[in-house]
Each structure stands twice: as structure tokens, then as C-alpha cells.
Structure 1
């Protein structure tokens, strides 16, 4: 989780990613941020984020993103 929080802070400094639960819904992260994020998640965690994974529910919070990463790791 710590690695993910570091990635998020690099993309959007100053956001409270540990507590924010509506990153997409509130416009904190935009589509360009998601593209950067997917690339960094893929590199850091060695997972393949598929198009079907690109839904707001998977990116609205750091916890949701980490749950998606764990699921993708388990699928490998």
C-alpha cells in the first residue's frame, strides 16, 4: 500500500489519499492522471490493468486501487 500511496503523491501532491473516497467522482483524478497511474501501477506491481478494470469504483480511493492490484496479482 505504501508504494501505491507514493505513486499517487507523485501524480497529485497534496491530496489526502489515505482518507479520500471519491477521487474520480469529485474530479481529484482526471483521465490523464489515470493513464499515468495505470502505467506506474503496471510497472511497480508487475500487473496488467485491463480496459475492463478502468471503472471509477476501482480508482475512487487508494484502498479500492490496492484491492484491484491484489486481485490482479492473484490472477497471475
Structure 2
């Protein structure tokens, strides 16, 4: 989780990823942020985030993103 928070903070240093629970619902992240996050996560965690994974349920918080990453690593 620390690695994920570091990645997210590198992309958006102005966001408190450890505590924010509505990154998508409150429009904290925009589409450009999501594209950047997906690119880095794919490389750093050796996963492939597909279009069907792009819902708010997977990107609303660092915890949700981490659960998605862990699930995709098991595939």
C-alpha cells in the first residue's frame, strides 16, 4: 500500500490519498489522472488494467485501487 500511495502522490501531490474516499465521486481525479495512474500501475505491478475495470468502485480510494491491483496480480 505504501508503494501505491507513493505512486499516486507522485502523480497528484496535492491529494491526500491516504484519507480520501471519493476520488472519482468528488471529481478529485480527472481522466488524465486516471490514464497516468493506469500506465504507472500497469508497469509497476506488472498488471493490465482493462476498460471494464475503470469504474469508480476501483478508483474511489487508494484502498479500492489496491484491491483491484491485488486481484489483477492473481490472474
TM-score by length of 2: 0.96
Paired residues, number? 75
Match of 1:43 in 2: 43
Helix, strand or coil for the counterpart of 2:74?
Answer: helix
Task: For 1:38 and 1:2, locate their aligned partners in 2 and report how far apart those are by CA, in whole Å.
Answer: 17
> How far apart in 2 are the matches of 1:39 and 1:10?
13
Displacement of 1:15 in angstroms is 1.4
Matches within 5 A, 1:1-76: 1-75=1-75
Once the two structures are superposed, residues 27-58 of structure 1 have per-residue CA deviations (whole angstroms, 9 ceiling, x without a partner) of: 11000000000000000000000110011110
- Cα RMSD (Å): 0.6
SS at structure 1 position matched to 2:10:
helix
- Structure 2 CA distance, aligned partners of 1:62 and 1:44? 15
Q: Any gaps of 5 or more consecutive residues in structure 1?
A: none
The structure 1 segments of at least 4 consecutive aligned residues displaced by more than 6 Å after TM superposition are: none
Normalised by the length of structure 1, the TM-score is: 0.95
